[in-house]
């Protein structure tokens, strides 16, 4: 499995193109379509996975789905974020209202998309719609886990108790590496230490 990173247009958000042979997935949609097309090349895009609905991670999802003729996968609660101009955190109040290309994830489960078996874990806290995806031992955590930190919990629909519960869940989840919504990748041991620190932080 090959993982390529494209930096997004806002807040240096990471977009990941995950490839197996001639098939690929796009994780988050904050980068310009032209930049993504350049990396995708002739590969078939099997789907777009959104880790959550904040604008820096979701802004171009409809463009991608139309350009690559694929489905957008996201937690069902993302509708609440994408349609709320005060929750999506776009610079100009832009929202996303078209859900015709979406397939919503309503519970923790494994989703089969093309050649990919994707374990989906609902992990709210930073947002009401945060979803972590594990593919072949690699977790794509969005803004739930960073290399040395967690997503902020002072935004609209954020919740410290939910974040704590999500950290407890991820502590018990099998993965080898973590690719985050911003910053560098990390490994399992680093995240076990990170989670312990922030579990204590959230209960102070």
Q: What is the reported pTM?
A: 0.96
Kindly compute the dihedral angle of the four CA atoms of residues 61, 63, 67, 71, in this order, to the nearest 10 degrees: 30
Domain residue ranges in the chain = 2-202
Q: Is 177 exposed, middle or buried (0-12, 13-18, 19+ CB in 10 A)?
A: middle
Q: How many helices (H) and strands (E) does the chain have?
A: 6, 14
3-state helix/strand/coil string of 141-175? EECCEECCEECCCCCCCCCHHHHHHHHHHHHCCCC
Average pLDDT value for residue range 45-73: 98
The per-residue pLDDT of the chain, averaged, comes to 97
CB-CB contact of 200 with 167 (8 Å):
no
Average pLDDT value for residue range 184-191: 97
Both tokens of 162, joined, read: 């939910």
Average pLDDT value for residue range 150-162: 96
Matching residue, tokens 């610079």:
91
- Tens-place pLDDT, residues 8-28: 988 899 999 999 999 999 999
Average pLDDT value for residue range 92-113: 96
Could you tell me which residue, 46 or 93, shows the higher pLDDT? 46
- Architecture of the domain defined by 2-202: 4-Layer Sandwich (3.60)
């Amino acid at each position: 499995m090959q993982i390529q990173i494209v930096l997004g247009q806002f807040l240096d958000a990471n977009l990941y193109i995950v490839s197996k042979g001639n098939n690929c997935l796009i994780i988050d949609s904050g980068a310009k379509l032209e930049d993504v097309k350049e990396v995708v090349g002739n590969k078939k895009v099997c789907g777009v996975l959104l880790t959550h609905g904040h604008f820096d991670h979701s802004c171009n999802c409809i463009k991608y789905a139309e350009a690559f003729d694929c489905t957008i996968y996201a937690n069902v609660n993302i509708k609440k974020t994408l349609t709320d101009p005060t929750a999506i955190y776009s610079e100009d109040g832009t929202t996303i209202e078209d859900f015709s290309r979406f397939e919503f994830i309503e519970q923790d489960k494994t989703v089969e998309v093309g050649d990919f078996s994707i374990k989906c874990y609902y992990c709210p806290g930073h947002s009401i719609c945060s979803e972590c995806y594990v593919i072949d031992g690699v977790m794509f955590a969005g803004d739930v886990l960073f290399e040395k930190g967690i997503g902020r919990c002072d935004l609209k629909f954020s919740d410290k108790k939910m974040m704590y519960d999500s950290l407890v869940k991820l502590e018990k989840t099998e993965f080898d590496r973590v690719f985050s919504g911003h910053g560098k990748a990390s490994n399992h041991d680093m995240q076990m230490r990170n989670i312990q620190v922030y579990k204590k932080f959230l209960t102070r």
